[in-house]
């Protein structure tokens, strides 16, 4: 692995009580990577993403990004350095409008959040960036609607809008399609495809159709350990992956998608 990887995990370990949830995880993503993290329930995927994002502190190991050690940095500091995570469960301000939710995050990220004497409408550059992203997700018409009045699927799209507006260099997507109706999944995929080609993306996702259409590489996590990692076709054709993760029905379950996952 090279120090110029967008994201590099070096021997990450985490134990809760007597249970080792993450065990010696090594992983590297180059700039522009489209990488899926998959595994059965309880494999430690969300814990690993928490370690990467800064929400959880590792017992040992390092989190590197573009040659810089982020291991002891806070979640907020990692965001300012371009490492951004979306959450499986939305954490929005329900009483605020869609636009206000997105702009609050952008204001904080661009260092103008402490300028309380200025109204949000006066922060032109930040506001334009937010409206641009909302338009990409086709929810700009709801920009003035309180988030609590939106469907859960639309709220998920607002959260994705916040992530995209922060212009991440490394993006951690924790089940981005969770709760989004199938009719709106294409909006999400379209927005993700519009991200800069150099943005590295690590996606946790159970929707194999979304993984297949977006990710070129896959890592399989089982009991906190990396079982397999590499190009999608190679990983999904592995007998070990089929036996341990997919089960004997794996080839049928993923019939027609295994070449791309």
Residue 211 placed within a domain: yes
Most confident listed range (68-82, 149-163, 226-240): 68-82
Query: Residue 210 sits in a domain of what CATH number?
Result: 3.40.50.300
Residue whose C-alpha is closest to residue 147's, from 100, 106, 95, 184 = 95
CB 36 within 8 A of CB 217: yes
Sign of CA dihedral 148, 47, 241, 190: positive
pLDDT grade for 1, boundaries at 50, 70 and 90: very low
Reported as a single tens digit per residue, the pLDDT across 11-64 is 999 999 889 999 999 999 999 999 999 988 889 999 999 999 999 999 999 999
Residue 116 placed within a domain: no
Are β-strands 217-222 and 34-38 bridged in parallel, bridged antiparallel, or unpaired?
A: parallel
Residue 192 placed within a domain: yes
Whole-number pLDDT of residue 167: 82
Residue 108 placed within a domain: no
Contacts of 181 (CB under 8 A, 6+ apart): 151, 153
Residue 126 placed within a domain: no
CB 214 within 8 A of CB 203: yes
pLDDT grade for 153, boundaries at 50, 70 and 90: confident
Whole-number pLDDT of residue 212: 80
What the block records as the tokens of 150 is 């939106």
Number of domains the chain is built from: 1
Range of the domain at 84: 7-90+167-253
Reported as a single tens digit per residue, the pLDDT across 105-121 is 777 766 665 555 455 66
Whole-number pLDDT of residue 243: 76
Residue 132 placed within a domain: no
Residue 221 placed within a domain: yes
CB 175 within 8 A of CB 88: yes
Residue whose C-alpha is closest to residue 220's, from 38, 47, 89 = 38
Mean pLDDT of the chain: 83
pTM: 0.81
Whole-number pLDDT of residue 209: 79
Whole-number pLDDT of residue 47: 94
User: Which pairs from 108-116 meet CB under 8 Å and 24+ separation?
Assistant: 109/79, 109/80, 109/166
Residue 183 placed within a domain: yes
């Amino acid at each position: 692995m090279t120090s110029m990887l967008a994201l590099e995990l070096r021997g990450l370990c985490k134990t809760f009580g007597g249970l080792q949830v993450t065990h010696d995880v090594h992983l590297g993503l180059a700039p522009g990577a489209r990488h899926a993290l998959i595994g059965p329930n309880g494999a430690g995927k969300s814990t690993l993403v928490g370690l990467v994002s800064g929400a959880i502190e590792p017992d040992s190991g390092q989190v590197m990004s573009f040659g810089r050690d982020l291991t002891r940095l806070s979640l907020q500091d990692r965001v300012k350095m371009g490492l951004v995570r979306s959450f499986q469960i939305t954490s929005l301000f329900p009483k605020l409008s869609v636009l206000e939710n997105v702009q609050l995050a952008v204001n904080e990220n661009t260092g103008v959040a402490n300028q309380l004497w200025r109204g949000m409408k006066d922060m032109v550059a930040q506001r334009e960036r937010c409206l641009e992203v909302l338009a990409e997700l086709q929810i700009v018409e709801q920009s003035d609607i309180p988030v609590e009045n939106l469907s859960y699927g639309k709220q998920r799209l607002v959260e994705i809008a916040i992530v995209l507006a922060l212009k991440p260099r490394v993006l951690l997507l924790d089940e981005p399609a969770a709760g989004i109706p199938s009719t709106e999944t294409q909006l999400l995929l379209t927005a993700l495809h519009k991200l800069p080609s150099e943005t590295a993306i690590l996606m946790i996702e159970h929707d194999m159709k979304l993984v297949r259409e977006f990710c070129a590489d896959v890592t399989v996590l089982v009991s906190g350990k990396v079982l397999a990692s590499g190009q999608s076709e190679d990983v999904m054709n592995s007998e070990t992956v089929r036996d341990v993760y997919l089960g004997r029905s794996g080839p049928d379950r993923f019939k027609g998608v295994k070449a791309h996952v």
